[in-house]
Structure formats: C-alpha cells, structure tokens
Amino acid sequence: MRTVLEVGPGALSEYYDWMKDAAQGDVLIYWSGDLQYDRQVVVPEGDILRSAERHRITMLNVVADRVLEDAKDGLLHLTQQRIGFSLFEYRATRRRQSFGKSETSVLPNEQLVPA
C-alpha cells in the first residue's frame, strides 16, 4: 500500500500511526522535493509572513530524522525516485518485523571443550 505523508502539524503522529499499521512492503512517501536542499532552508524567526513555511521545514527535519533512525534500526528500507529536475520522491518501505529469539544458539560454558 502507498501512503503520502503531509508534512505539517501532526506529521510525526501520522508517521507513527503508519509505522504501527504498515505491513511488510507498504510504502510511505515522506517528502517530495530535494530533501538535502529543503532541510537546509532557513526562515528567519522575525519573518511572520513565512512562519508556516518555517514550521513546515522544522517538521520536515523532525520526520526525516525519525525516518533515518528507524531505517538504521532495520525497520525501514529507504529509496528515492526521480520525478523531475531536482525533484524526488523520498520513500520509506516497511521491512519485515521479526520478534522472538534469534536462530543462533549459545552453548553454556560447561559444554565448551578446551583447545
């Protein structure tokens, strides 16, 4: 299933809801644009006319950091697709979740044989 995240107030909560409900292979498009450039945009605090843009960029940074952390933890696979010149879709694909003990067994010390 493909879901598009609207970055703005409540985006992090919507991301967590998606993570909770997503099945293996579900895709979340968490940004469209040029993520590297867009994360560096600075809107001065005193610029009242662009305060909505400042909040949107702040939320983008929060969501992008969280997506990256979850990918490092093995929960997501990150990809991007070129849509146009300097325009990309940034995608997070839910990976299979594994719970329980790992398949590797550990021998107790008394079962080890000295070399």
Task: Name the residue with higher pLDDT: 43 or 94.
Answer: 94
In a domain, 114, yes or no: no
Digit-coded pLDDT (tens) for 20-39 = 999 999 999 999 999 888 88
In a domain, 103, yes or no: no
In a domain, 109, yes or no: no
In a domain, 77, yes or no: yes
Among 93, 90, 91, 61, smallest CA distance to 75 is for: 93
Residue 41: predicted pLDDT: 84
- Which pTM value belongs to this model? 0.74
Instruction: State the Cα–Cα distance between residues 68 and 63, nearest whole angstrom.
Output: 9
Q: What is the mean pLDDT of residues 48-54?
A: 77
Among 78, 83, 92, 99, smallest CA distance to 30 is for: 92
* Structural domain total, the chain: 1
Instruction: State the Cα–Cα distance between residues 65 and 43, nearest whole angstrom.
Output: 19
In a domain, 104, yes or no: no
In a domain, 91, yes or no: yes
Structural domain containing residue 32: 2-97
- DSSP letter (8 states) at residue 41: -
Among 85, 7, 4, 5, smallest CA distance to 53 is for: 7
Residue 61: predicted pLDDT: 92
